[in-house]
Amino acid sequence: DAGVIQSPRHEVTEMGQEVTLRCKPISGHDYLFWYRQTMMRGLELLIYFNNNVPIDDSGMPEDRFSAKMPNASFSTLKIQPSEPRDSAVYFCASSLGGEAFFGQGTRLTVV
Amino acid sequence: QKEVEQNSGPLSVPEGAIASLNCTYSDRGSQSFFWYRQYSGKSPELIMFIYSNGDKEDGRFTAQLNKASQYVSLLIRDSQPSDSATYLCAVPQRKAGTALIFGKGTTLSVSS
């Protein structure tokens, strides 16, 4: 398996623009997680899905953030409108309920 | 109180020494504990997990769990420069038990 695949790897956007991050989990994994990593706050859990259903979105910082998982092989994290404080590395991870396997991350810069 | 706490470091050790990384957690009900390694600019990768009190060894790595004191540690024997990275401790989320909650990590620097 190719592992968790995220796109794009890097994203630079202007404040106010919509940003969509994409994730393909490992085939067969039934949990999908979105994390955000910054120097100040470390690796924070934003939201996670089980069998495509959102289970806990309490980590989503604001209504500007939304996530979907339309099928078992694809998920998106959308920020609309984006702000400079959203600049971070966003990781997607998947698991079977134990060890989480991480994608390579998307480095988002909002200017 | 944060669910997982780690000393951010940096922890500096000479090559060949033992590096000791510590982590405390707040939920007494936590049953499993994970150590991840993250190289600069890369994603976290699992090194070890431990469920039972005591020690678990895997090559140069030993995880130690003390549930009564609510801490878990990672020992790296014969430290190598390639071990220089940030080490993240993680426990399952208190309310649901599936999603991992991570500490901020301890940065280890091994000098040759």
Q: Got the DSSP string for B40-98?
A: TTS--EEEEEE-SSEEEEETTEEEEEETTTTEEEEEESS--GGG-EEEEEEEE-TTTSS
Beta-carbon neighbour count of residue B36 at 10 Å? 25
Q: CB-CB: which of B46, B93, B105 is closest to A99?
A: B46
Q: What is the pLDDT of residue B103?
A: 96
User: What does the alpha-carbon distance between residue A35 and residue B101 come to, in Å, rounded to a whole number?
Assistant: 10
Task: State whether A100 and B100 contact (CB < 8 Å).
Answer: yes
Beta strand ranges found along A10-97 (DSSP E): 10-13, 19-24, 31-38, 42-50, 53-56, 65-71, 74-79, 88-95
Q: Is A5 on the interface with B (CB under 8 A)?
A: no
pLDDT at A98: 85
* Predicted local distance difference test score (pLDDT) of residue B52: 87
DSSP-derived secondary structure letter, B83 = G
Please report the pLDDT score of residue B110 as a whole number.
98
Q: Please measure the distance between the N-terminal and C-terminal CA atoms of chain A and give it in whole angstroms.
A: 36
Q: Which of B20, B9, B27 is nearest to B105 (CA)?
A: B9
Q: What percent of chain B has pLDDT over 90?
A: 80
CA-nearest residue of chain B to A50?
B98
Predicted pLDDT at B97: 67
Closest CA to B99 of A33, A88, A11, A54: A33
CA-based nearest residue to A75, from A31, A108, A13: A31
Query: Residue B96: what pLDDT?
Result: 66
**B59 in Cβ contact with B76 (< 8 Å):** no
Cβ-based contacts of B99 with chain A (< 8 Å): 31, 33, 45, 48, 55-56
Structure tokens belonging to residue A75: 């998920």
Q: What is the DSSP letter of A99?
A: S
The nearest alpha carbon in chain B to A48 belongs to B99
Q: In this predicted structure, what is the pLDDT of residue B60?
A: 98
Q: What is the pLDDT of residue A2?
A: 84
Q: What is the pLDDT of residues A13-61, one digit of tens each?
A: 999 999 999 999 999 999 999 999 999 999 999 999 999 999 999 999 9
Convert the pLDDT of each residue in B10-57 to its tens digit: 999 999 999 999 999 998 888 899 999 999 999 999 999 999 889 999
| pLDDT in the model for residue B108 | 97
| Banded model confidence at residue B3, pLDDT cuts 50, 70, 90 | confident
Q: Inter-chain contact B98–A91, Cβ cutoff 8 Å?
A: no
Question: B103 to chain A, minimum CA–CA distance in Å?
Answer: 7
